[in-house]
Amino acid sequence: MQPHRTAMTAVDRSWLRMESVENPMMISAVLSFDQPIAISRLKRVLNERFLTFRRFRQRVVNRGDRAYWEDDPHFDIDNHIHRIALPGNGSQEELQQLVSDLNSTALNFNRPLWHLHYIDQYNGGCALLIRIHHCIADGISLVRVLLSLTDSSPEYKVHTLTPLRPAPGPRASLWRQSVDRLRASGHVALEQGRLFLQSLEKDPGYPLKLMGTASDIAVDCIKLGFAREEPHTSLKRPLSGRKQVAWARPLDLADVKRCARTLKGTVNDVLLSVASGALHKHFNDTGEAIPDCGIRVAVPFNLRPLNRPITDLGNQFGLVLVPLPVDVPCPIMRFRQTRENMNRLKRSYQAQVTYSLLDLFGRGPDILERRALNMLSHKASAVLTNVPGPKQPVYLAGAKMTQPMFWVPQSGDIGIGMSIFSYAGTVQFGITVDKSIPADPSAIMDHFHEAFDELVAQTTDQQANLGVG
């Protein structure tokens, strides 16, 4: 019997085709725990909570210009779990070196595109390095999937594995997919028609507003296409494919929120301005001239409702190009410029435009997609993600998670990825840098703390000068 097979969506196929030797399209996570986890318990959790998503039992097959998800007839969880111990005393530096090596290695395309390394002897406990291909889902979805493996207390709650439905035959599958697409299109058309009539009833001027929105989207599309390329700096170099990973001591989230309230901005504004400050210090360290127009980072923007449970994977996000004022020496002025840039982007449709472009490129020839994606990658020096995590500590198979780190891949000629993740009252910073780029990832992580401390100090001085208690 032929394995069950479903067509890959155009957007997911775009991320599949971005795979390159220099930039494997993997989302990776390093999760640290306060005690060892028994491998048998870890496998039980994965079977009960992770493998309920069929994608993690399926491999990718290509047939001509089409890509499909196909059930792996020889699926075995042991092919996806590897146990390894750190050398020496199991320090953070040794774990970072191991993660750097593994993140430089592509996944095996003959099997489902995920792998987990269980790492012994780390900080008296253990760590997990989880790598999942971007074509399976976007970063926010996969973070939520990985957090679904955890509990709010050390007590392990038993979940039962949802049985997978028997795979239909190829003809039945094709017929069912066609019917499902037709039914879905009909539902969407009826719903859109109903919403349009409701809006027209409430506001007779709604058609004009709709035309205005379409015009704004067209303008954002043109702006994206004609945006300047990134300035020539050491951050944009031909890539080697060897990654260097580092992460910083966490910040106190309460301190970040206090700073944001004082400066009348958001936590995101503060963290992006701190990232700008860290790169400003990097340029000063190397003696390189700082581009007077700043640099841009590509920031994923979620288009999936966060209040809905994840039942289907896939990619539902766009990208926005965020200017970072690395040329501004004053921390408070950097913050204000960042806040202004973010407010302007929030009013734009850039995320929706890039999502539509990914969908369009995924349907076209491979060479067209690569040229278009190369054009977009020339407009950013780094990828930066900012994902909210649990507000309270979580536990995996009874072990407390002490520090989570997540990275999304970079595409084209982008060789730097920065990650911001909030967890249990802290803010975690991480970075991955291609080895060909003359930047010390550990030094940049130190600069994050320095930039934040300077912003807090200047904010306190400003309050004192204004007589604010």
**DSSP of 355-383, one letter per residue?**
HHHHHHHHHS-HHHHHHHHHHHHTT-SEE
Strands of the 26-33 sheet, one edge to the other: 81-85, 114-122, 125-133, 26-33, 399-407, 395-396
pLDDT tens digits for range 170-215? 444 444 444 444 444 444 344 444 444 454 455 554 344 434 444 4
Say if residues 19 and 100 touch (Cβ distance below 8 Å): no
Say if residues 112 and 3 touch (Cβ distance below 8 Å): no
The DSSP bridge partners found for residue 420 are: 386, 429
Q: Is 410 helix (H, G, I), strand (E, B) or coil?
A: coil
Distances (CA, A) of 176 to 4, 60, 67, 169, 172: 12, 20, 18, 10, 6
Cβ neighbours of residue 146 closer than 8 Å, sequence gap 6 or more: 29, 31, 130
Same-fold call for 5-147 versus 223-391+409-465: yes
CA–CA dist 368, 93 (Å, integer): 41
- For the structural domain made of 223-391+409-465, what CATH number should be given? 3.30.559.30
CA–CA dist 53, 445 (Å, integer): 35
Of 416, 420, 337, 427, give the one whose Cα is nearest residue 377. Answer: 416
- For the structural domain made of 5-147, what CATH number should be given? 3.30.559.10
Per-residue pLDDT of the chain (469 residues; tens, 9 = 90+): 566 788 888 778 877 888 888 888 888 999 999 999 999 999 999 999 999 989 999 999 988 778 899 999 999 999 999 999 988 778 899 999 999 999 999 999 999 999 999 999 898 899 999 999 988 887 777 888 888 889 988 876 554 434 334 344 444 444 444 444 444 444 434 444 444 445 445 555 434 443 444 444 444 444 445 456 678 889 988 999 999 999 989 999 999 999 999 999 999 899 999 999 999 999 999 999 998 888 888 877 655 555 555 666 766 656 678 889 999 999 999 999 999 888 876 655 444 445 455 554 445 555 555 555 555 667 788 888 888 889 999 999 999 999 999 888 887 788 999 999 999 999 999 999 999 999 999 999 999 999 999 999 988 877 666 665 4
Is 95 exposed, middle or buried, given 0-12, 13-18 or 19+ CB atoms closer than 10 A? buried
Question: What is the structure's pLDDT at 315?
Answer: 61
Query: Amino acid identity of 298?
Result: A
Question: What interhelical angle do 253-262 and 441-465 show, nearest 10?
Answer: 50
The DSSP bridge partners found for residue 423 are: 426
Question: What is the structure's pLDDT at 375?
Answer: 59
Q: What are the boundaries of each domain within the chain?
A: 5-147, 223-391+409-465
The pTM is what?
Answer: 0.78
